[in-house]
């Protein structure tokens, strides 16, 4: 059996996240159906991450096992010929037997996009959060720096996502602006359920003066979801890079 890793990207607007769903359409459902059609055998894929409904991915990896002799270049071509326009495959590699798209992953980078202009842009609908108020990128960057390092992020986890171990290491949190588009990049060795979106909601509280930048250490110490900000909408979130 071959162990294959595929690199893809997708717009998540039409999907209930990446992970396979029984009663709704997820990205995994669509890719597995396409691979089954191509290889003439049932295929189960393992994704590098779960994503929420509406979240996008610029870089996403999945792995699967198959006895199909179709070369990687042929699989890429075949997949792109039948996948819908909001999913694309850009690479395919035969891996050693121990590789697993999820468990071999060392970390990820997410980007959250905020369109900071008075009037919304219809071409960014479901692609970025429209935030029409003044956004002080320096202020939220200062707050974000308190979240870097190794911490218990229970305060920044959705109520249904808490685990026995909620400690994660955030290696980088930076804020950039290009004209009206503000991006918050967060890299970590792993993420809790809704972690990035709750961080963004909390940073917007800081921007609006409801919290101070140096409140972040106390929020971490509380380990209580009620202490952090709202969960930002999913459609502004992109899985940007995956590290192996």
Active site amino acids: 52
Let me know: does 8 contact 20? Beta carbons within 8 Å.
no
Residue 217's φ and ψ, nearest 5 degrees, are -60, -35
Encoded tokens for 105: 């992953």
Encoded tokens for 89: 């495959």
Encoded tokens for 75: 């699989």
The Cα-based distances of 226 to 23, 157, 199 in angstroms read: 31, 10, 13
**Residue partners of 206: CB distance under 8 A and separation at least 6:** 139, 140, 143, 212, 213, 215
Could you please report the per-residue DSSP string of 107-123?
EEEEEEEEE-SSS--GG
């Amino acid at each position: 059996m071959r162990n294959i890793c595929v690199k893809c990207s997708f717009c998540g607007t039409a999907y209930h996240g990446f992970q396979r769903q029984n009663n709704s359409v997820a990205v995994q459902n669509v890719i597995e159906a396409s691979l089954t059609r191509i290889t003439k055998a049932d295929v189960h894929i393992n994704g590098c991450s779960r994503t929420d409904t509406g979240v996008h991915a610029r870089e996403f990896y999945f792995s699967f096992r198959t006895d199909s002799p179709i070369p990687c270049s042929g699989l890429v071509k075949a997949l792109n010929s039948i996948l819908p326009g909001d999913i694309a495959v850009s690479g395919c590699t035969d891996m050693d037997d121990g590789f697993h798209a999820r468990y071999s992953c060392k970390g990820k980078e997410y980007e959250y996009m905020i369109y900071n202009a008075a009037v919304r842009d219809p071409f960014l609908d479901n692609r970025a959060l429209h935030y029409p108020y003044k956004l002080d990128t320096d202020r939220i960057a200062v707050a974000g720096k308190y979240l870097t390092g190794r911490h218990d992020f229970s305060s920044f986890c959705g109520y249904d996502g808490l685990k026995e171990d909620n400690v994660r290491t955030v290696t980088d949190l930076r804020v950039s602006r290009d004209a009206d588009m503000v991006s918050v990049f967060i890299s970590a060795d792993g993420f809790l359920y809704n972690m990035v979106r709750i961080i963004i909601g909390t940073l917007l509280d800081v921007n609006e003066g409801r919290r101070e930048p140096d409140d972040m250490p106390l929020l971490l110490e509380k380990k209580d979801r009620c202490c952090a900000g709202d969960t930002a909408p999913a459609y502004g979130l992109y899985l940007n890079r995956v590290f192996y």
